[in-house]
Structure 1
Amino acid sequence: MERFERYLEKFRGPIFSYVYRLVRDEATAEDIAQETFVRLYKELDRIRDQTASAWLYRVARNLVTDYIRKKRPVTFTVLRGKSREDDDESPSLQFEHPGRGPVGTTTNNELRELIDETLEAMSPKFRDVLELVDIQKLTHEEASKVLDCSVKTVSARLARAREFFTNRIARYVETGDEDEPDSVAGG
């Protein structure tokens, strides 16, 4: 029971946040996160400490997929930061806080909307990798277990997703054009 409580304390917030970003409904996210931990409790004896994080995210992702199949399409929100495994050659975005007040709030809302639209323009295989590595801060190895693909595939998809994301945001900042199609968006 102590081991389960330790996992619950460590992962409750991150799992809820991950699920919420996918379903965008607090009650549904809470239900899915709770079911994730119910399954953890039932399978606790089979799970090693080294793989618990990846196992939890994978179960949560599968439960979200089941929910989406039954209910509605998935959407994603805000991208932040860099992963623990980034090198200097990987494109990344860092935004300065535009400040408080009406101008800062408007800028923040516009940026959030642009980020959401950019993420939604990506195919799920790129969006998922970006979500797990850049937002949830999983390692490439952990993300590969969640996504059931190789670490090399995670790295390649992440590089393409970041490039697409960076180029689209940069183009918008330079020209104001966010509708121009990009090749990585669909595939």
Structure 2
Amino acid sequence: MFSLNIEEIFYLHNHTIFKYLYYLLNDEKLAEDYTQETFVRYLNHHQTIKEGADLAWLRCTARNLAYDHYRRKRIIQFVPFLQQHEEQASPSPHQWLMQREDAKILYLAIRKLKITYRDVIILRKIEGLSIEETCAILGWNEGKVKNTLKRALIALKKQLGGEMDEE
């Protein structure tokens, strides 16, 4: 198996990390800054990252940067992020931010959930990560991911007025 160089890793994952950070921070400039900081940290630590674990490491680092920001500011805001954004033909970050006004209901519902519920919903249901990938990013065991997701979906269903498909 071959290894990607740092430039390839950046071009492969920068849009994903930006969207994840924007979803967590609800601030385009801050998301851009923390995306850059995430890749600077990757540059400094890439030798210690297991082969094939680059994206998990980047997501975990981005999440930690966002959490550090919240600890300093003591505020939490989220914006909608839908799988359709990944499937569209590579819009620019600015285009992506302007695309989905209809996700406002989801935005408001997710915003009211506690942080652990937001994390697990973002990673498992919105980004579509496996249980194992979610465990690696959050530092949880499989049982905690499954139980927290179940509770999070119930809470989200309540926030949405009970109108949510069971998948």
TM-score when normalising by structure 2: 0.77
CA contact (8 A) 1:53 1:142 kept: no
1:148-169 Cα offsets, whole Å, 9 max, x none, are: 1112211211122122223442
2:75 counterpart letter in structure 1: P
Aligned partner letter, 1:21: Y
Task: Pick one of 7, 22, 25 that aligns with 2:24.
Answer: 22
Measured in 1, the distance between the counterparts of 2:36 and 2:103 equals 28
Q: Find the counterpart in structure 2 of residue 62 from structure 1.
A: 64
Q: What SS class does the counterpart of residue 79 from structure 2 fall into? A: coil
Task: Indicate conservation of the 8 Å contact 1:68/1:74, yes or no.
Answer: yes
* Alignment partner of 1:38 out of 16, 27, 40: 40
| Corresponding pairs, count | 147
What letter corresponds to residue 25 of structure 2 in structure 1?
A: V
C-alpha contact 2:57 2:137 (8 A) present in aligned 1: yes
CA contact (8 A) 1:22 1:76 kept: yes
Residue pair 1:55, 1:146 contacting (<8 A) in 2 also: yes
Partners of 1:68 and 1:159 in 2: how far apart? 25
Question: Which 5+ residue runs of structure 2 have no aligned equivalent?
Answer: 84-99
Taking only the aligned residue pairs, the percentage that are identical comes to 29
Q: Which residue of 2 aligns with 1:47?
A: 49
Distance in 1 of aligned mates of 2:162 and 2:120: 22
Work out which of the two has the higher radius of gyration on C-alpha atoms and give 1 or 2: 1
Q: Alpha carbon RMSD of aligned pairs, Å? A: 2.5
CA shift for structure 1 position 118: 1.5
TM-score calculated relative to the size of structure 1:
0.69
The answer as to whether partners of 2:19 and 2:81 remain within 8 angstroms in 1 is: no
Q: Which amino acid is the alignment partner of residue 32 of structure 1?
A: Y
